[in-house]
Amino acid sequence: MKVSVLGCGRWGSFHASYSCNIGNDVILWGRENSGNLLRLQQTRCNDYIHLPNGIALTDDLERAVDHAEVMIVSISAQQFRSFAQVLAQYDTKGKVLILCMKGIEQGTGKRLSQVASEYIQDADIAVWVGPGHVQSYVRQVPNCMLVASDDHALTKWIVEAFNSNLIRLYIGEDLIGAEVGAAAKNVIGIAAGMLDGVGYNSLKGALMARGAREVARLIKAMGGDEITAYGLSHLGDYEATLFSSYSNNRRFGEAFVKGERFDKLAEGAYTIPAMLDLAQCHQVELPITQAMNDIVYANAEPMGAMRQLFLRTVKGEF
């Protein structure tokens, strides 16, 4: 199968390598003058992976689109709208577009599949989310992930086409829940890092229970299946996001409360205000997200805000 991976950062380079290793004909695209692409062109390596020789590298988006039966997109979630506008200029008819990012668009509260559908009406759109870190996959440590779309047959086809002993893919029946859950777990990951940073890591159990319940309520209010919050896209991704030393979102939260510099992409930081927009629109309380917003964007004192979060009045269990 001909696959083009659009985006050559950590996850894009991994998806290209993975797809090549399971037998596909792969092109990896990066923006012109991209430092990531330049390094791969010069060395075929980055900090995480050595690309198989079978992968072609290009900064020509038209070439990448024309090559592909399947396009896998892995770029910053907040840059996706501008990228989708450019992508729509090329012939995507009959192709499969798989989004491998986890985020909600700031300013609109839209899921990334919704953004894609605004510009690309002639391709089949799906998302690929769930737990796992590139650092583990390159050491051949297996994990499970989830594919979801509005078309069951499409979802099943992707799962069968990309399954392997390294990544066990499962069929998702709830696109709304998969996207919202995947984005929201990054916010919970920041909260977990803050607990680590202030020495309250014993509260991670309470954070996990409350976080999944909050997100389940939001998914239900948006028309999804609240049970999805307890699957691979959200709760199933907590170990990789709330505890792992590889988690950029957890590391961002810890560094933030310690006043330390953190220069990696933490999508959860951008998802916080977008989640609050969704909460307001659907009249759902998201206390954890609100606390993260207060700390990151409103200069609330971290230890006090985290303590208050767990002292708030609750009805029943969380």
Give catalytic status of residue 220 as yes or no.
no
The torsion angle over the Cα atoms of residues 66, 67, 73 and 78, rounded to 10 degrees, is -30
Query: Of 245, 108, 136, which Cα lies nearest the Cα of 189?
Result: 245
Q: Give the tokens for residue 191.
A: 């909260």
Q: Considering 95, 102, 110, 185, which one is annotated as catalytic?
A: 185
C-beta atoms surrounding 281 within 10 Å: 11
Q: How far, in Å, CA of 24 to CA of 238, rounded?
A: 31
Sign of CA dihedral 165, 152, 128, 280: negative
Which residues are known to be catalytic? 185
